[in-house]
Amino acid sequence: MEEKKRYNLGVLIGGVHTYFPKEHIKGISEAASELDVNVCFFLGTRTKDFFEDVLGSKQKNSYDYQFNTIHDYSLIGGLDGLIINYGTLGIQLREVDPNEFARKYNGITTVFLTEVVDVPNCHSLICDNKGGIAMVISHLVEEHHLSRILFMAGPEHNTDAIERKEAYLETMKKYGLPVTHGMIAQGDYSEFVDKQVEYLLDSNPDAQAIVFANDEMAFAGYRVCEKRGLVVGKDIMITGFDDCERASGMEPPLTTIQQDGELMGKMAVYDLVNRLDGKDPGKEAVSRRVPVSFVKRESCGCVSEDVSKKETPMGLGAQVHRLNKTIAGMKLELISFQRKSWFIPVLARDLNDCMDDEQAFLKEIMEKMRELHTRCTHLFLLDEPIVYDGKRKWTCPYNLHLAASYENGKIITKAAYERPLVMKENGICDLMENEERHQFMVFLLFSGEKQYGLLACDIDQEDFPFFYVISLQIGLSLHYLEISKAEAARRLEMSRDIEEIKEKNRVLGIISEYDELTGLLNLRGFMEHTKRVCQAGNGQRAYMIYGDLDHLKEINDTWGHPAGNFALRSVAEILKGCLRSNDILGRVGGDEYIIMLECEEADFGEKFRERVKMACKLFNEKSGKPFLVEISLGIAEFRPNISTDIQQVISLADQQLYEAKKHRKKSVSRANNEGA
């Protein structure tokens, strides 16, 4: 009898830094283990709100939009079934219609969580949002006789949030309680909605209660009320939705609606596997609701004695035990993360040492995955990095290749020409398949606007935060590897150019007129070319420009003479890029360069100074060197003719250079100029 194939299930889930998605992941993981199926989590998250809360300022360059793209990689995942937690994705996605989103994945049997869709081959699981909010409002009105009840809504296009807001409006109407526009604020399900809470309280000084669409936002309510001197549970009542880990440990404990995220995750896996097995879904073919319970605690004004009567689904003793367990787990997780955090700079250092050898670079990543005790790891790279700015329409790439693997204690890296291509018929899971059951966490590898590929690690859920940071570091190192490749190509091109110049000099017999290091004219060559221009001069305006590489001695003393030579050659290239083909450029001393050009513009000198300054800035942004290449310029205007004293004009330019050098930076060390 043929052995049954182990299914490969994919999970699209975002907001994995928050409580409820974590519960879904936990339930999915447990069910996948019970049913012996592989599961591949395509993970998204958000950092913008977190950093703005920590740093207290708007983040100009948030690249969270990159996480929206990881979902489409599941299309080449080699998946048998898919679980989509659209409630967490919809916060970030541009698609406001979940049916439109579902149709993208219509070729795969799918279970939608926290959303109802009407698309073939899809089944939905969603909690009883309206029933939960109705229980909260009814309790506040009937038990506490409140009437000024405010509402913090969730994301605008999120179905859970929409239903909870509708339930608030319907229940308030049922009790004949008016609701004005200023009684509702729009949140995003994150804990960082302090400004929205401030708005509600400023608009409603007589507020008696705030009902939050989830617990995470309720925590912001606690924080704002404490700043204002309002005692939660006495001066103002607060309720949440979810009953997350921190809810019972708040001061006072948070009254909330309990929905079982683990149960929903388990139900999703069992429903999906049943469908893959061809079992009849029956009456629940379209969608079903997951029941919720009202958890009464002190934040709504109830006294602690009420809690001990076990009117909540969980007794007081069980709540205390759960809270202690949560606190202990968080402490252990923090200690573990602190210890592991030392691993990040080591990883960065070791990868930096491999920038001249891509195979060694990939092997080093896999070595680190072995040291971190991943069960197995696979690294997928794009042929060329994809630039995505988050504005144009995203299209899933079809040039992803398996580049390196660590499994069964062995490390395998592949050269670019032998890497297998990921396709629908030969998907990500197919390339990772072996006899063992796996749970892969898939991370997008990117740096800024550039995507480089995916990292798939078979790890436990609690290891996700640390490996998320690891993936960010690998993405950054891939960016440096790309820069290193480009720099090597430029060096090769520069070397070829210099060799070509040398060869032409030998053929033409004019080696004595050229500088060997830079390929520019030397002093003799410069004077000969300038004399010819002056002898043919007709009184046209011209400029003599004396240039000097800033702080060559510092570069040589700190980073060595090869670095100094690199800087000297770079100055030559920068100046050549700012000149026309018929302008005369030479290196006339150790760090001195001289230019003679004809131009009728009266203010050309300052324009040229700015042009060189900008060229240096662009060069330094891309050089990857620990030092800056800066050029000071002295500029003298003259009108060349047969009687021109070239040495005198050069002397005038040199005097101007002396004045310009007074304003140069005190150091060209990049570290000394950070933030300048």
User: Which tens digit of pLDDT belongs to each residue from 384-419?
Assistant: 999 988 888 888 888 899 999 999 889 999 998 999
User: Which tens digit of pLDDT belongs to each residue from 526-580?
Assistant: 988 899 888 887 778 899 999 999 999 999 999 999 999 999 999 999 999 999 9
Pick 387 or 338 by higher pLDDT: 387
CATH for 510-673, options being 3.20.20.70, 3.30.460.10, 1.10.287.3510, 3.30.70.270: 3.30.70.270
Model confidence at 322, pLDDT cuts 50, 70, 90, reads low
C-alpha to C-alpha distance for 230 and 368, rounded to whole angstroms: 50
Strands 109-113 and 631-638: unpaired
Q: Give the DSSP H or E segment for 547.
A: strand 542-549
pLDDT of 64 strictly over 60: yes
The backbone torsions φ and ψ at residue 579, rounded to the nearest 5 degrees and listed phi first, read -115, 165
Model confidence at 489, pLDDT cuts 50, 70, 90, reads confident
Q: What is the average per-residue pLDDT within 499-525?
A: 77
pLDDT of 581 strictly over 90: no
pLDDT for 206 equals: 94
Q: What is the average per-residue pLDDT within 493-498?
A: 85
pLDDT of 332 strictly over 60: no
Question: Architecture of 355-486 per CATH?
Answer: 2-Layer Sandwich (3.30)
- Burial class from Cβ neighbours inside 10 Å (0-12, 13-18, 19+) for residue 56 reads exposed
User: Which tens digit of pLDDT belongs to each residue from 430-445?
Assistant: 887 778 889 999 999 9
User: Which tens digit of pLDDT belongs to each residue from 144-175?
Assistant: 999 999 999 998 878 889 999 999 999 999 99
Domain regions of the chain by residue span: 355-486, 510-673
Mean pLDDT over each residue of the chain, to the nearest integer: 86
Model confidence at 46, pLDDT cuts 50, 70, 90, reads low
Model confidence at 511, pLDDT cuts 50, 70, 90, reads low
pLDDT for 93 equals: 61
Contact 61, 448 (CB under 8 A): yes
The backbone torsions φ and ψ at residue 127, rounded to the nearest 5 degrees and listed phi first, read -80, 165
pLDDT for 174 equals: 95
Model confidence at 614, pLDDT cuts 50, 70, 90, reads very high
pLDDT for 182 equals: 93
DSSP 374: -
- Domains 355-486 and 510-673 fall in the same CATH topology: no
Contacts of 274 (CB under 8 A, 6+ apart): 281
Q: In what order do the strands lie in the sheet with 209-212?
A: 184-186, 149-153, 209-212, 237-239
Q: What is the average per-residue pLDDT within 605-620?
A: 92
Cβ neighbours around 425 below 10 Å, total: 8
Bridge partners of 593?
Answer: 547, 587
Contacts of 594 (CB under 8 A, 6+ apart): 526, 544, 545, 546, 547, 585, 586, 588, 650, 653
**Among residues of the chain, what percentage have pLDDT more than 70?**
88
pLDDT for 202 equals: 96
DSSP 277: T
